[in-house]
């Protein structure tokens, strides 16, 4: 798992060469989310990861409120065979 900050993510948004995975709850996502992000709460990733429609080496950037759940999500994705996960370490608090 690699890491980046919310500021670094902002700079990459226009490139669209990644999947942005929001791993918060549905309620948190509905309050605010980054346009284009995909919602799969971190505790549902194991059974719903195919919804990402991603290859195992696609870049998947995980974000949550503070960086904790997204770190867990990256580790789960890695256990499932995804090799290019990135955790936004300061989460949406850094947005």
Q: Give tens-digit pLDDT for 72-81.
A: 999 999 999 9
Mean pLDDT of the chain: 98
Judged by DSSP in three states, 71 sits in helix
Q: Domain locations in the chain? A: 2-94
pLDDT of the residue at 55: 97
Q: Under CATH, to which class is 2-94 assigned?
A: alpha beta
Q: Determine what percent of the chain is predicted with pLDDT higher than 90.
A: 99
pLDDT of the residue at 16: 87
Compute, in degrees rounded to 10, the torsion defined by CA atoms 40, 72, 18, 82: -100
pLDDT, tens digit (0-9, with 9 covering 90-100), for 28-63 = 999 999 999 999 999 999 999 999 999 999 999 999
Quick one: residue 67, left, alpha or beta (phi over 0 = left, psi -120 to 50 = alpha)? left
pLDDT, tens digit (0-9, with 9 covering 90-100), for 23-34 = 999 999 999 999
pLDDT of the residue at 76: 99
């Amino acid at each position: 798992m690699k890491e980046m900050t919310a500021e670094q993510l902002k700079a990459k948004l226009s490139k669209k060469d990644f999947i942005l995975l929001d791993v918060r709850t549905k309620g948190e996502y509905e309050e605010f989310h980054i346009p284009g992000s995909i919602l799969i709460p971190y505790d549902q990733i194991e059974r719903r990861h195919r919804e990402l429609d991603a290859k195992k080496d696609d870049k998947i950037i995980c974000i949550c409120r503070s960086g904790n759940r997204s770190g867990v999500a990256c580790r789960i994705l890695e256990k499932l065979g995804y090799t290019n996960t990135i955790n936004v370490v300061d989460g949406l608090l850094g947005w």
